[in-house]
Amino acid sequence: MTDPTPLFQETQRFRQLWLWTLMLALIVLAFCAIASAFTQNRSPAAAAFTAGMWAVFGLGIPVLLMITRLVVEVRPNELRCRFFPFHLRPRVFDTKTIVKCMPCEYRPLRDFGGWGIRKGFGSKGWAYNVSGALGVQLVFKDGRKLLIGSQRPEELALAILDSARH
């Protein structure tokens, strides 16, 4: 049996200018460090190790950020969140267990310490977010809280409420 067409689907990526400026600086620094490792008077093993470390971190981190994405889908009776590449499968939440669902504006740094899969400060619960400061705050029957970042929070909230009615 095939899955029904999603009621809502959104894919988000990291898009903060400051982050990509920092990543560009890291890439340039990595290339300079790699070139420097081989042009300085070092042993070949030390040069290879230095170049390898810069390649892994200086190039690997930007590539990881390029492929990272948050995919949110709402289907009848379920909400699916996948933070690729960290979630191999989507996290599935039963929309019938949601008692509160409201679009909101939040402060990613102050409320959750940044972007990503984050545990909020105090009783804020968890957040899945990659950019911006808009999302949907969910409260489940068992008291758990989840904030899902979205560029279309009103649509997402309506889709979640609609999903629970199916």
pLDDT band at 136 (very low <50, low <70, confident <90, very high): very high
Q: What is the Cα–Cα distance from 10 to 73, expressed in whole angstroms? A: 7
Which of 20-24, 40-44, 48-52 shows the lowest per-residue confidence on average (mean pLDDT)? Answer: 40-44
User: For residue 138, what pLDDT is reported?
Assistant: 97
pLDDT at 98 over 90: yes
Mean pLDDT of 141-151: 96
Structure-block tokens of residue 85: 């590449």
Predicted confidence band of residue 59 (pLDDT cuts 50, 70, 90)? confident
The pLDDT value given to residue 3: 60
Pick the more confident residue, 40 or 143: 143
What pTM, to 2 d.p., does this model score?
0.79
Of 65, 152, 56, 154, which is closest to residue 101 (Cα–Cα)? 154
Q: Alpha-carbon distance 55 to 42, whole Å?
A: 18
Residues 73-91: what's their mean pLDDT? 94
Is residue 69 scored above 60 in pLDDT? yes
- Amino acid 1: pLDDT: 46
Residue percentage of the chain with pLDDT more than 70: 98
Amino acid at 146: L
Query: Helix, strand, coil proportions of the chain in percent (round to 5)?
Result: 40, 30, 30
Banded model confidence at residue 143, pLDDT cuts 50, 70, 90: very high
> How confident is the model at residue 80, as a pLDDT?
97
